[in-house]
A = this chain, B = another copy of it.
Amino acid sequence: MRVSVIGATGYAGVELLRLLKNHPEAEVVHITSESQAGKPINEIYTHLNGLYEQELISMKEIDTIANDSDVVFIGLPHGHAMAVGKALVGKNVKIIDLGADYRFTDTSVYEQWYKVEHTHKDAQRVYGLAELYRDQIKTATIVGNAGCYTTASILALAPLAKKGLIELNTVVVDAKSGISGAGRSASLNTHFAEMYDNLKAYNVGGHRHTPEIEQALSEFSGEEVVISFTPHLIPMSRGILSTCYANLKKGVTAEAVDAAYQELYKDEYFVRLLGRGAYPQTKNTRGSNFCDLGWHIDERVGRVVVLSAIDNLVKGAAGQAIQNFNIVCGFEETTGLTNVPVYP
């Protein structure tokens, strides 16, 4: 398949290039950047020397891109993918958007949290969290790739929500992310000396991944769910750990919890069930598309605590996009995604 990457110079975009390089069914034809158009990508990312040396073009050349591509990945900031999506309507091109524009079934939720008008409300889109929306993804034209925090958190809580084992209004998600999640823009928030040996929360109660998690949990449970979600910046490069708390419904046993995880994920290659009492760690997933899950029953307080680790740039972005690409194209879902985590 001929693929293009619109917005290739962000961390998610360049991670896509890494994974596509060894994907046996994909050939990268165009890569775009508005600010760096005309330059070869390896001038922007020197680790690509000898691997990718092609020139970045502007996405204004969308017609050329459409003609030359079977699938287009979009790695633009939210609010910018809709224009691409609309421009490609009627062309024979599938879209996998790594941003937020196509994640929401109810676009008014998007508009409320992202403070942007949604201009492509009638898009044939599907939420791109493969393990939980696989059947819809198979036939989608536009996949709204799930976010990074949300992937870790939804995979952690889905078995409990689907089986009705928890009080959904007690869900607290305390999530921690490496700093690559903040993107490549230079700022005090991403300054080495400021963040090294440092730790802080941000956007308490207001992070835009909150409604995305709520949408999924509501769909799984049939209830309208609201949750507490707190993201934190951790002084590391990659990785997300999501620590999820919920009250167990009365009478729910540890075995029922175990069974829920087994049932939903036992055949999933990318979800590794470490089991009850286990402690996932982000480094175990680095560079790979795995999501590692462990869960704990705290009987003293009647809560379940689920721990979920991913690489934010892989399962949380580019890897999941490739996984969706494989589904959309009818390839084996693990194609190009079988690399072993880079440890230590």
> Which A residues are within 8 Å of any B CB, using their own CB?
11, 14, 17-18, 21-22, 45-51, 169-170, 172, 174, 176, 178-180, 182, 184, 186-188, 190-202, 204-205, 226-228, 230, 232, 234-239, 241, 243, 245, 269, 272, 274, 279-287, 290, 292, 296-298, 300-301, 303, 305, 307, 309, 338-344
**With a CB–CB cut-off of 8 A, which chain B residues contact A290?**
50
CB nearest neighbor in B for A279: B200
Q: Which residues of B contact A184 (CB under 8 A)?
A: 188, 191, 193-194, 344
A237 and B197 CA atoms in complex are apart in Å by 6
Chain B residues near A296 (CB-CB < 8 A)? 204-205
How many copies of the chain does the oligomer comprise?
A: 4
Residues of chain B within 8 A (CB-CB) of A309 are 199-200
Cβ of A300: which chain B residues have Cβ within 8 Å of it?
Answer: 205, 226
Contact of A305 among B176, B228, B282 (CB under 8 A): B228
Kindly identify which residue among B17, B18, B200, B340 contacts A241, using a CB–CB cutoff of 8 Å. B200
> Given A226-B300, A235-B236, A272-B50, A199 and B340 touching (CB < 8 A)?
no
From B172, B199, B286, contact of A172 by CB (8 A): B172
